[in-house]
């Protein structure tokens, strides 16, 4: 007799949620604004190739990536899609970027010259975007030199000036700083004829809080996957209902047992039972991306009830309190992120327990956690 082996730890990705989220973003920005969908870090942990295939069918205009490996993965799914590399291109990556028609981000004259020379040698005119540093301090041309850089790019025979953009540093929390960044960026745009240019500033947070930053293109990332970035700025509850998380993260109960008062659990004996308890060992740990910072503080869902993590999270397992779930048995589903009956643990809540941000929670889910796609076909 054959038996189907179930997953010990897995993530479910709801493709219908992704389609609906992208449709809402399209509605919010209007039909003429280009959507540069950011799919860095394996599409925020959702699986780059299947997500790219879905987005190609669902109305994205351009893909935003962090590196050439991500660009090449998208190329393997569908040819011809515009891809913008948001980070700097390393010198030994330039040839491959030009060969694969990846649009680089240009921050200084040296980068422009290298790409121009490479383009001329390969008889290609390279489409580039210039980034302006208005306060992030990471990548981008200084505002006082941006117009000169643009002029040199426009005079170059090997380059085609396609777009210009900036990036908010604290759009979810600091409206004054964001307004100042927009004002600085607008000042740069005043010096540069922007006919036929893609101009973009708004990331996911910008889409929620800075409608003045829409211009003629936007760069949503986390929002496409249904996660509202954590913010100190106020947001209407109605706005939160317009997107829904695409990813649920689950594992199973491996073992159930009763423990006596005073029993120590896991490495370092950081938890000792204050009374007789019923506990479960579950099949996920930091080897799956469940951070050790959740030790003794995070919660999971079993039987529709919240169950606290007890002791330190280990590589492959952790222990949780199931005293309130007397029916729990080995093999039962455990929800780490997502809904179970009337309860839900959101990625942002798990991030709070971990002392981090939802971006890290999603991208930390490791390769050994299979992604299971529901709600539509994924290639």
CATH of the domain at 179: 3.20.20.10
Residue 46 lies in a domain: yes
Q: What is the CA radius of gyration of the chain?
A: 24
Q: Are the CB atoms for 201 and 215 separated by under 8 Å?
A: yes
Q: Are residues 215 and 313 in the same domain?
A: no
Longest CA–CA span in the chain (Å) reads 78
Q: Are residues 253 and 218 in the same domain?
A: no
Task: Please compute the mean of the pLDDT values over residues 138-146 and round it to a whole number.
Answer: 94
Residue 216 lies in a domain: yes
317-339 pLDDT tens trace? 999 999 999 999 999 999 999 99
Q: Are residues 71 and 199 in the same domain?
A: yes
Q: Are the CB atoms for 217 and 36 separated by under 8 Å?
A: yes
Residue predicted with more confidence, 133 or 4: 133
231-273 pLDDT tens trace? 888 776 656 678 999 999 999 999 999 999 999 999 999 999 9
Domain stops at, among 194, 225, 256: 225
**Tokens 């209007």 sit at which residue?**
30
Residue 112 lies in a domain: yes
Q: Are residues 87 and 206 in the same domain?
A: yes
Q: Are residues 192 and 263 in the same domain?
A: no
Using a pLDDT cut of 90, give the percent of the chain over it.
89
The number of folded domains in the chain is 2
Q: Are residues 352 and 310 in the same domain?
A: yes
For residue 274, pLDDT beyond 50: yes
Residue 48 lies in a domain: yes
Residue 325 lies in a domain: yes
Q: Helices marked H in the chain — which ranges? A: 15-29, 40-45, 48-58, 68-77, 94-99, 109-121, 143-155, 175-190, 204-209, 237-240, 347-354, 358-363
Q: How far apart are CA 350 and CA 125, in angstroms?
A: 46
CATH of residue 282: 2.40.37.10
- Catalytically active residues are 40, 267
Residue 252 lies in a domain: yes
Q: How far apart are CA 318 and CA 356, in angstroms?
A: 20
Q: Are residues 166 and 278 in the same domain?
A: no
Q: Are residues 156 and 84 in the same domain?
A: yes
Q: Are residues 125 and 169 in the same domain?
A: yes
345-361 pLDDT tens trace? 999 999 999 999 999 99
Q: Are residues 253 and 176 in the same domain?
A: no
Domain stops at, among 225, 256, 275: 225
For the chain, helix (H) and strand (E) counts, in that order, are: 12, 20
SS3 162: strand
In this prediction, residue 27 carries a pLDDT of 93
Helix, strand, coil shares of the chain, percent, nearest 5, are 35, 25, 40
pLDDT confidence bin for 3, thresholds 50/70/90: low
In this prediction, residue 242 carries a pLDDT of 85
Q: Are residues 209 and 265 in the same domain?
A: no
Q: Are residues 256 and 304 in the same domain?
A: yes
In this prediction, residue 379 carries a pLDDT of 44
In this prediction, residue 377 carries a pLDDT of 58
In this prediction, residue 79 carries a pLDDT of 87
Task: Please compute the mean of the pLDDT values over residues 178-199 and round it to a whole number.
Answer: 92
Residue 239 lies in a domain: no
In this prediction, residue 86 carries a pLDDT of 97
Residue 16 lies in a domain: no
Range of the domain at 279: 247-374
**CA distances, 215 to each of 103, 124, 176, 186, 194 (Å):** 20, 29, 19, 10, 11
């Amino acid at each position: 007799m054959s038996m189907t082996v179930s997953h010990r730890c897995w993530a479910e990705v709801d493709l219908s949620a992704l389609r609906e989220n992208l449709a809402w973003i399209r509605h919010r920005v209007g039909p003429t604004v280009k959507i540069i969908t950011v799919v860095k870090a394996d599409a925020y942990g959702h699986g780059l190739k299947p997500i790219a295939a879905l987005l190609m069918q669902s109305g994205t205009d351009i893909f935003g990536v962090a590196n050439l490996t991500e660009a090449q993965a998208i190329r393997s799914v569908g040819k011809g899609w515009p891809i913008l590399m948001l980070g700097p291109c390393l010198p030994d990556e330039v040839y491959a970027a030009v060969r694969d028609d990846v649009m680089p981000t240009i921050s200084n004259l040296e980068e422009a010259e290298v790409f121009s020379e490479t383009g001329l040698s390969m008889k290609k005119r390279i489409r580039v975007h210039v980034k302006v540093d208005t306060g992030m301090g990471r990548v981008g041309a200084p505002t006082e030199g941006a117009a000169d850089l643009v002029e040199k790019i426009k005079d170059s025979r090997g380059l085609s000036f396609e777009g210009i953009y900036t990036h908010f540093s604290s759009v979810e929390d600091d409206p004054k700083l964001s307004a100042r960044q927009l004002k600085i960026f607008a000042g740069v745009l005043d010096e540069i004829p922007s006919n036929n240019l893609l101009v973009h500033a708004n990331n996911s947070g910008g889409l929620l809080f800075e409608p003045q930053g829409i211009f003629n293109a936007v760069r949503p990332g986390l929002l496409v996957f249904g996660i509202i970035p954590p913010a100190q700025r106020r947001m209407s509850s109605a706005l939160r209902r317009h997107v829904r998380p695409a990813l649920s993260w689950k594992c199973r109960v491996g073992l159930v047992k009763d423990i006596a008062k005073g029993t120590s659990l896991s490495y370092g004996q950081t938890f000792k039972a204050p009374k007789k308890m019923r506990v479960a060992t579950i099949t996920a740990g930091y080897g799956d991306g469940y951070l050790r910072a959740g030790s003794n503080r995070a919660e999971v869902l079993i039987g529709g009830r919240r169950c606290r993590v007890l002791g330190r999270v280990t590589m492959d397992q952790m222990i949780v309190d199931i005293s309130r779930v007397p029916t729990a048995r080995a093999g039962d589903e455990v929800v780490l992120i997502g809904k179970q009956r009337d309860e839900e643990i959101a990625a942002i809540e798990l991030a709070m327990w971990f002392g981090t941000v939802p971006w890290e929670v999603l991208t930390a889910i490791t390769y050994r956690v299979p992604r299971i796609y529901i709600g539509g076909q994924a290639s």
